[in-house]
Amino acid sequence: MRMSSFFFTIGQGFKSLKRNRWYTLASVATISACLFLFGVFYSIVTNFQHVVKTAEEGVSVTVFFNEGTTEDIILATKALVEKRPEVRQVVYVSAQEAWEGFKEDYLGEYADGFTENPLEDSANLQIYLSDVSMQPALVTYLESLSDIRLVNKSEVTASTLVGVNSLIAYISLGIIAILLLVSIFLISNTVTIGISVRKEEINIMKYIGATDFFVRAPFVIEGIIIGIIGSIIPLFIIYIIYNKTAVYIAERFAMLNSILDILPVGTIFEALVPISVLIGVGIGFLGSVATVRKHLHV
Amino acid sequence: MEKVLRKKKAQRSAYDDDIITLDNVTKSYAVGKPALNGVTLHIKKGEFVFIVGDSGSGKSTLIKLLLRELVPSEGTITVMGHDLGRMRHRNIPKFRRNLGIVFQDFRLLKDRNVYENVAFAQRIIQKSSREIRKNVPSILATVGLAGKYKSKVTQLSGGEQQRVALARAMVNKPTILLADEPTGNLDPGNSWDIMKLMEQINENGTTVIVVTHNREIVNAMHKRVITMKKGVVIYDEEEGEYHDEDE
């Protein structure tokens, strides 16, 4: 292909956007609408997952040891537990630290009456999980170890979080399926309009001896540009809405700040930008190929 | 090997003589009678041929077959040595570049100007920008549109639009010019202008095939006339004339 033909083809793609401005607008609007819905949904789900993850990270299993168990044995147990894949972190709390914590939390100045540590046998391991759904398996394992007196766990919290996680997964799948169907419907309608607009033009090109590549290339370039524009617009809108919403939630629900920790927009956009642009370009590319394909056999 | 060479030689000699050959060609669609039924035709290089006949006579099907838009159901069509029935899809664009095509409804790219419409045909065959800048004004001058190269085609009269279509068809110097009802949307004055341009193109060596309903033009030009009726050729006359359906 000559360089002049190459630039001509690219130029035709850009010119075509202007020539068929209504089709361009309709296509950009369709892609933007789909990606806007996707972006909003993605932001909500990602934040929700973040909240659940934060809650999960706070869930711990506490292991107490038999009377007289030495610190060496406790630390050996700690090393053993740390090797398990579902375990994120193990914190050793000595009897002294347990007593100090108790005093601070519950006794305050009344603690002065105690001369000895009443929690002498309360040295424990606090185990934090990377996957809260694995808590029952971990508890079974811990209970099978020697020197262990008690395993404290919150079954309700763990099972609630596991339930919320599965609920998010199901809702995500459902909404993605609906979005996908809506997108396919909207895009196929737009492509149908495109076909009726372009049918004659494609026929003329074919009659005068244009190759399939020559006919297709400007349409594909046009489709990709539409896809890029169609993905940038919703990203821009989401950026503004997201920031405003984050500020609103932080101010209005200040007391829930520890639970409702909204992710910074940068974190959301790290993945949302490439995904949206990729989907936009993909839709534009496939839409344009589908538009042209039917009419190439003239 | 020798057999293949002999076949190729035979094909070449046939091409030297006949530029278009239809050998017992039938074209049937899914329903109804065949649009073409056992048509045999030979058109020589440099000929000017009118194809006439009423609606449903098979003229449009014949044009579509020659453009390789359709393939025959039976028989063979050879154009410039190419067996169109056996031609692969990827070879069709290259084949069509040897044909100039003019339609009744002009089929111009309406959102582009006169120059761009004609230049487009040159872009397709990957002519350089320099050659395009040389060839397009030259062909526009030939069809009398040198002064209107910047006009949008929608701003032109029917006669002018057909001249643009003719310029586009001729700019790549095709071997054959196919015109499907080129005067169908034109007044008598413009019709004659277009036909004279086609005659001039023919005198320069291009084979011209014109499908038309225009009795006056056919009778006045004294060219070969092929008359079709219900998918068969009923007359094929040198310096012929337009026959009525009931003749």
**According to the model, what pLDDT value does residue B8 have?**
45
- CATH 3.30.70.3040 positions along chain A are 60-153
A203 and B107 in contact by Cβ < 8 A?
yes
**According to the model, what pLDDT value does residue B4 have?**
46
Q: How confident is the model at residue B1 (pLDDT cuts 50, 70, 90)?
A: very low
User: A154-168: buried (b, 16+ CB within 10 Å) or exposed (e) per residue?
Assistant: eeebbeebbebbeee
3-state secondary structure of B82: strand
**According to the model, what pLDDT value does residue B169 have?**
93
Q: Which residues in B lie closer than 8 A to residue A4 (C-beta atoms)? A: 128-129
In CATH terms, is domain A60-153 a member of 3.30.70.3040? yes
Give every CB contact of residue B43 below 8 A, 6+ residues apart in sequence: B18, B19, B20, B21, B49, B207, B209
A201 and B101 in contact by Cβ < 8 A?
no
pLDDT < 70 stretches in chain A: 1-2, 106-120, 191, 194-195, 197, 257-259, 295, 297-298
Long-range contacts of B64-71 (CB under 8 A, 24+ apart): B65/B22, B65/B25, B65/B27, B65/B36, B66/B20, B66/B99, B66/B178, B66/B209, B67/A207, B67/B96, B67/B99, B67/B101, B67/B178, B68/B92, B68/B95, B68/B96, B69/A298, B70/B27
Percent pLDDT > 70 in chain B is: 92
In a mutagenesis test of the B interface, which of A17, A204, A206, A213 is the best target, namely the one with the most B β-carbons within 10 Å?
A204
A4 and B129 in contact by Cβ < 8 A?
yes
Let me know: does A121 contact A95? Beta carbons within 8 Å.
yes
Phi and psi at residue B48, to the nearest 5°: -120, 115
In a mutagenesis test of the A interface, which of B111, B127, B170 is the best target, namely the one with the most A β-carbons within 10 Å?
B111
In a mutagenesis test of the A interface, which of B82, B102, B107, B178 is the best target, namely the one with the most A β-carbons within 10 Å?
B107
What's the complex ipTM? 0.81
B125 and A206 in contact by Cβ < 8 A?
no
Q: For the residues B12-36, what does the mean pLDDT come to?
A: 83
Q: Which residues in A lie closer than 8 A to residue B99 (C-beta atoms)? A: 209
Q: For the residues B179-196, what does the mean pLDDT come to?
A: 91
Nearest CB to B128; choose among A1, A4, A298: A4
- Chain A nearest CA to B162, separation (Å): 14
Closest-CA residue in chain A for B91? A211
**According to the model, what pLDDT value does residue B12 have?**
44
- Chain B nearest CA to A219, separation (Å): 15
- Chain B nearest CA to A194, separation (Å): 15
Tokens of A49: 């997952």
Residue B211 CA to residue B93 CA, distance in Å, equals 22
Q: Which residues in A lie closer than 8 A to residue B169 (C-beta atoms)? A: 208
> How many CA within 13 A on the CB side of residue B77?
24
Range from A109-123, B82-96, B167-181, B203-217 carrying the lowest mean pLDDT: A109-123
Residue B188 CA to residue B159 CA, distance in Å, equals 10
pLDDT at B37 over 90: yes
B97 and A209 in contact by Cβ < 8 A?
yes
Q: For the residues B83-105, what does the mean pLDDT come to?
A: 92
Residue A122 CA to residue B171 CA, distance in Å, equals 97
Angle at A223 between CA A218 and CA A226, to 5 degrees: 125
Tokens of A48: 């929700």
Cα torsion through B12, B16, B22, B23, rounded to 10: -60
pLDDT higher at B162 or A131: B162
pLDDT single digits (tens) A117-131: 666 677 888 898 887
Number of A–B residue contacts, CB under 8 Å: 52
Residue A103 CA to residue A281 CA, distance in Å, equals 61
Q: Which residues in B lie closer than 8 A to residue A201 (C-beta atoms)? A: 109
Residue A228 CA to residue A240 CA, distance in Å, equals 19
Residue B62 CA to residue B173 CA, distance in Å, equals 23
pLDDT single digits (tens) B112-144: 899 999 998 998 888 888 999 999 999 999 999
Residue A291 CA to residue A220 CA, distance in Å, equals 10
Residue A164 CA to residue A58 CA, distance in Å, equals 15
- Chain B nearest CA to A231, separation (Å): 28
Per-chain mean pLDDT for chain B: 89
Q: For the residues B58-72, what does the mean pLDDT come to?
A: 93
